[in-house]
Amino acid sequence: MKIWWCRHLLLVLVLLTLASCGPAGFLRRSGSPPRQSALAGKTENPPLSPANVSATIRRKIHQELAAENYRSALNLLRREIKKGVPEKALADEYGQAINGLLREAKGYQQKGLPEKAGALFRSARERFPKTKEVAERISLAPAEISARIEDCAEKLMERGLIAYRSGDLDGAIKAWKMIHAFSPRHQASLKALETAEIQRENLEKASRQ
């Protein structure tokens, strides 16, 4: 009878302990390790922060800049910025890349190659930094870059007109199509191109008759 009573009393004490601290508390008191949640397990190896990612490719960007591969450098920069790296963190590299691209474009413009210059000016305008602190490092403002693009288009427009007036429809069409590579909405070249292509088509029809 005494044994039964002791067992009954021990069971009551165990139940009271569980009720006061809960199963998790009882396990901790008994020396069992706490259960880790799935979320806790994921934080053991956190992903690299944006700053760490940019540091790993900074050398590649410098290599592209040293080789004067400015568009490649800009592609690497823009990729990091899309991942969340602020433009300010890559301000020096960003400024070097855009200014290098603009220098290259000006060089082609001076050599009388507006088709190459226009394409580079457009790349610079499309990748122009949004942060004021970084934008101030660029040698030309967006409006000035747009003016350069327009100037390249006008040079090709003039080249096409000279070819057109001399009866060289193919040459005119070729020149005006070059404009669309960097200024696809250039209205004067669109109209001139449409007229020249219709005339060439009519001439080809007439020659087959």
* Unique residue bearing structure tokens 């050398």: 59
Residue 44 has pLDDT above 50, yes or no: no
Query: How is domain 153-209 classified at the CATH fold level?
Result: 1.25.40
Q: What is the pLDDT confidence band of residue 158, given thresholds at 50, 70 and 90?
A: very high
- Residues contacting residue 119 through CB under 8 Å, at least 6 positions apart: 181, 182
**Burial of 81 (C-beta count, 10 Å sphere; 0-12/13-18/19+):** buried
Higher-pLDDT residue of 56 and 91 is 91
| Segment 159-172 mean pLDDT | 96
Amino acid at position 110, single letter: Q
* pLDDT for residue 13: 52
Mean pLDDT score of the chain: 82
Return the exposure string of 164-197: e unless at least 16 CB atoms fall within 10 Å of the residue's CB, then b: beeeebebbbbbbbbbeebbeebeebeebbeebe
Higher-pLDDT residue of 28 and 83 is 83
Residue 145 has pLDDT above 50, yes or no: yes
Q: Domain residue spans in the chain?
A: 51-140, 153-209
